[in-house]
Amino acid sequence: MVELRVGLLGLGTIGTGVARILIEQKELISRRLGKRVTLVAAADRDLTRDRGLDFTGVRLCDDANAIVTADDIDLVVELIGGYEPARTFVAAALASGKHVVTANKALIAKHGEELFPLAAEKGLQIGFEAAVGGGIPCMKALREGLAANAIDSVYGILNGTCNFILTKMENEGANYADVLKEAQALGYAEADPTFDVEGIDTAQKLSILAAMAFGSKIRFEEVFTEGISRITAADIQAAHEMGYRIKLLGIAKPHGANGQVDAVEMRVHPTLVSLSSQMAQVSDSYNAVQISGDFVEHTMYFGRGAGERPTASAVVADIMDITSGFPGGITHLAPPMGFVESSRREMPTMPMADALCEYYIRLMVQDQPGVIAAVTSILADHRISLEALIQKERHASHNVPIVMLTHETTEGNMQAAISRITALDAVQEDALILRKESAVV
Ligand code: HSE
């Protein structure tokens, strides 16, 4: 029976899960493929920890270089995470003729565009399904199942840690810092959790999805990114009273005319979605991606976006895809970014100032006559129309929170209005603005 030999870099949370599947599901994998996938070697700096697995027959070492250059390995799985040394090891594995599978969204978002050609030159494959949406095969859906469509929009809850925090803050009135600790203990959070809560992880994933959706190049640094660290339990409650739930969404839309995409809108920020939407029901560490196409209309993919077993499930599916074309070519697979390389184009990222949104505005103001009139008159100057306004009870300090929902306007216009509002003497702290998305189903 044909055999594909795997070398694993990193035996942390995900690496352990991948080893577990390759060992425990060996028989199932062979029955599905008619070929064998064998874990030959694994490298990690810590080989003393008990991972609850029988590694008999697997070469364990602490030297990743020994794996990327080994003669008896056909495919390297990179699960170290981060930019370096992951990038060096992946490049070295490709240079020595090995396929690569990774769960590393940071690597693909930042260095994918230099790694894909290295793989293509050698007829090798890079699989990265686990990098976005953990166990959900959302990129496979986009690249293959939806291949007949021009994609109209992508909306995703792409970070399990943030969704876990927002859910617990809403359901249990839990404290932000405590919930973050819980997410870290469950293995959801990044090594540096600011990547989760400040939206960077979501931006990395969104930039990959957007490029795959629209045939553009991955432009992670250009994604407008705001995290959840300024959201309070009071915001969650105010949004709820107005019929919305706050989710950290990654949003991508194409802009152009006559079917030609001229610019790509990409933004990550806490977003108000209708309480009755499917997206609002996605709780805990679950992720969900809504992809809409011109023929298929709305589709939605849901599942665990983080954690050992779900993420390992996607890694091993990629290994199996590559195995099914092994040896002797990988032509049965769609191109890694869903478009043939020669047709992928540089497309400008749309300036955030041009984005059209509806807004939630939270202000803390002095409780005195004329303040709401002053605020609403600035909004009127900018032709921003209000949908709802709530004034909450006064704080001990004689300040009072005001929450407003607006109709649609451009980000640039809203920012101009907000700077004038913040400059009013009666306004006590920086306004919080959140954006609302009505097109989420
Ligand atoms: N830190 C990520 C999350 C892990 O919380 O979703 C999966 O990429």
441: in domain: no
Residues 124 and 69 in one domain: yes
Cβ distance 321 to 336 under 8 Å? no
| Ligand 1 atom with least separation from CA of 205 | 8
66: in domain: yes
Range of the domain at 219: 138-303
Q: Does the CB atom of residue 160 touch ligand 1 within 6 A?
A: yes
DSSP per residue over 347-402, as a string?
A: -PBPPGGG-EEEEEEEEEEE--TTHHHHHHHHHHHTTPPEEEEEEPPPPTTSEEEE
- For residue 359, the CA-to-ligand 1 centroid distance in Å is 27
| Ligand 1 atom with least separation from CA of 190 | 1
319: in domain: yes
Residues 295 and 163 in one domain: yes
Q: Does the CB atom of residue 134 touch ligand 1 within 6 A?
A: yes
324: in domain: yes
- Among 79, 136, 157, 201, which is best to mutate for testing ligand 1, by the most ligand atoms less than 8 A from CB? 201
| pLDDT < 50 positions in the chain | none
pTM for this one? 0.96
182-217, pLDDT tens digit by residue? 988 888 888 899 999 999 999 999 999 999 999 999
pLDDT confidence of residue 333: 83
- For residue 374, the CA-to-ligand 1 centroid distance in Å is 43
Residues 153 and 281 in one domain: yes
| β-pairing verdict for 3-9 and 36-43 | parallel
Q: How many structural domains compose the chain?
A: 3
Residues forming a β-bridge with 364: 401
Looking up residue 421, the CATH number of its domain turns out to be 3.30.70.260
Residues 250 and 273 in one domain: yes
How far separated are the first and last CA of the chain, in Å rounded? 47
| β-pairing verdict for 432-436 and 260-274 | parallel
Burial of 98: CB neighbours in 10 Å, binned 0-12, 13-18, 19+:
buried
Residues 150 and 298 in one domain: yes
Residues 289 and 394 in one domain: no
pLDDT confidence of residue 330: 61
- For residue 143, the CA-to-ligand 1 centroid distance in Å is 22
Residues 177 and 295 in one domain: yes
Q: Does the CB atom of residue 189 touch ligand 1 within 6 A?
A: yes
